[in-house]
């Protein structure tokens, strides 16, 4: 049986409300395809740098996040350059930025 997937725009908006409601400002930096656009998360710690995650699926087909930039904190300019390269290749991508000093991943799914 085929898995029913929620539209990207609804899914992103629900997570923005979750983050903002918990005191972690989150906003859409780039609006992708409403129905099927994948998401890139930029988690800005505001002092230490940024973490970047790209939405993917694991081997079981479950939602997962691919840690970009070696999974390490990077200067914001480096994170932005990586995101620009990805959005140049895939114009349907969403980019969501979350400001969280603790660098937490607010979206469900494992990091791979």
Domains in the chain (CATH in brackets) are 8-111 (3.40.1530.20)
Q: Average pLDDT, whole number, for the chain?
A: 95
Task: Write down the pLDDT at residue 2.
Answer: 58
Q: Which helix (H) or strand (E) holds 26?
A: strand 26-30
Classify residue 9 by burial, with Cβ atoms within 10 Å: 0-12, 13-18, 19+.
middle
| Model pTM score | 0.93
């Amino acid at each position: 049986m085929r898995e029913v997937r929620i539209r990207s725009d609804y899914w992103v908006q629900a997570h923005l409300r979750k983050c903002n409601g918990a005191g972690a400002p989150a906003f859409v930096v780039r609006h992708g395809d409403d129905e099927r656009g994948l998401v890139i998360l930029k988690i800005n710690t505001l002092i230490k740098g940024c973490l970047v995650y790209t939405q993917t699926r694991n081997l079981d087909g479950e939602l997962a996040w691919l840690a970009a930039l070696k999974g390490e904190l990077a200067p914001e300019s480096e994170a932005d350059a990586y995101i620009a390269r990805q959005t140049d290749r895939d114009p349907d991508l969403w980019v969501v930025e979350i400001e969280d000093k603790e660098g937490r991943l607010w979206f469900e799914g494992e990091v791979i």
